[in-house]
Amino acid sequence: MERRSFLKNAGVGLAAGTVAMPAIAQNAPTIRWRLASSFPKSLDTIYGGAEFMAKRVAEATGGKFQIQVFAGGEIVPGPAVFDAVKDNTVEMAHTASYYFFGKDPTYAFDCAIPFGMTNRQLDAWMRYGNGSTLMGELYGKSNIVPIPCGNTGAQMGGWFRKEVKTVADINGLKIRIGGFAGEVLSKLGAVPQQIPGGDIYPSLEKGTIDAAEWIGPYDDQKLGFNKVAKYYYYPGWWEGGPQLSVYVNSAKYAELPKEYKAILHMACADAHVDMMAKYDAKNPTALKQLVGSGTQLRQYPKVIMDAAYKAAMELYAETSKANPGFKKVYDDYAKFQADQNLWFGIAEGAYVSYMNTKR
């Protein structure tokens, strides 16, 4: 089913349900699901997105549809939530799809790829392009229904113990990063490290790694990276608008009453907007505080950006040749993004560039 058609029908169902809430509460079944998050409770933005969604579902069903959220590691480790939903160990998960790059790099399109789309551009592809259909086909092979549920917006480019000014400075650099971004940096000579979020701080502190990427000012400040790495780079060219997703076991999803399906989708959509708004509200203050405490803000030199872009395009061509499913999605994604970049460059890009001259 196309997302546009579903949302249209779901909107009618939700509107009717809002008016006749007592009828839903009386006649609908009581359902209790478990959701396994890939994130720790300390990250109130990302982990909190699932709690926000679950609260909305409960409110809209008069408490009849309850979703209990568990942090990463409480039921299964964060990286294991994909298989937990596929195998119906839990009914739901909340995660970043590029974590499952190793299963198939095509999953990254549901989250972010290097030099990929921004939050709003990805929303447009998912809702009014072919994104929802293509992702539905991909996840359907693993008994999963994916639903967008959050975005961080463009992320920062990571914390470095030393400055990087040329491509030669990347060579041999041990950096905490994974997925496509790690593959791209490998082409530039870096040594990607797969390290859980909770282990990044001590690894930077001990010098086990030279650099690490996480999310952005608000979350990075919470984890204290500014205390063990001096230089904070931008932009995070590998995450222009990483989307978070709710995964639902397809058999369990099929069992839901149509009203509950509609409410679930609308609750995820609400959480999606709320997460982005929360980051946009909190990141500016956190960034000013970081800089005020001594963090050295640095923009990636163009020579490094150009080298990374070239490496990324080479990687996409290589992956497309080896993986027909990836090629199918990438060709559609890239075509949509080209039009989006043209529009955003003319409209908001020019506007924001001008406004920044007035600071």
Helix (H) / strand (E) element for 201: namely helix 200-206
Q: Which residue has the tokens 């500016």?
A: 284
Q: What single-letter DSSP state applies at residue 19?
A: H
Helix (H) / strand (E) element for 296: namely strand 296-299
- The structure tokens listed for 223 are 């984890």
Q: What single-letter DSSP state applies at residue 346?
A: I
Helix boundaries (H) for 65-158: 81-86, 119-128, 131-140
Sign of CA dihedral 239, 349, 159, 283: negative
For residue 17, is pLDDT > 90?
no
- The structure tokens listed for 285 are 């203050």
> For 222-237, how does the pLDDT look when each residue is reduced to its tens digit (9 = 90+)?
999 999 999 999 999 9
For residue 109, is pLDDT > 50?
yes
Q: What is the mean pLDDT of residues 240-266?
A: 98
- Full-model pTM: 0.91
Instruction: Check residue 195 and give its pLDDT.
Output: 84
Given pLDDT bands bounded at 50, 70 and 90, which one contains residue 11?
very low
CA distance 44 to 29: 31
- For residues 69 and 43, is the Cβ–Cβ distance under 8 A? no
> For 281-340, how does the pLDDT look when each residue is reduced to its tens digit (9 = 90+)?
999 999 999 999 999 999 999 999 999 999 999 999 999 999 999 999 999 999 999 999
Instruction: Check residue 198 and give its pLDDT.
Output: 78
> For 23-56, how does the pLDDT look when each residue is reduced to its tens digit (9 = 90+)?
565 678 999 999 999 999 989 999 999 999 999 9
Strands in 174-176's sheet, in edge-to-edge order, are 191-193, 174-176, 211-212, 158-160, 231-234, 296-299
Instruction: Check residue 2 and give its pLDDT.
Output: 45
Surface-to-core class of residue 5, CB atoms within 10 Å of its CB (0-12 exposed, 13-18 middle, 19+ buried):
exposed
Instruction: Check residue 203 and give its pLDDT.
Output: 95
Surface-to-core class of residue 67, CB atoms within 10 Å of its CB (0-12 exposed, 13-18 middle, 19+ buried):
buried
CA 266 to chain centre: 18
Instruction: Check residue 281 and give its pLDDT.
Output: 98
Average pLDDT, the chain: 93
Taking alpha carbons only, the member of 74, 65, 114, 143 closest to residue 300 is 114
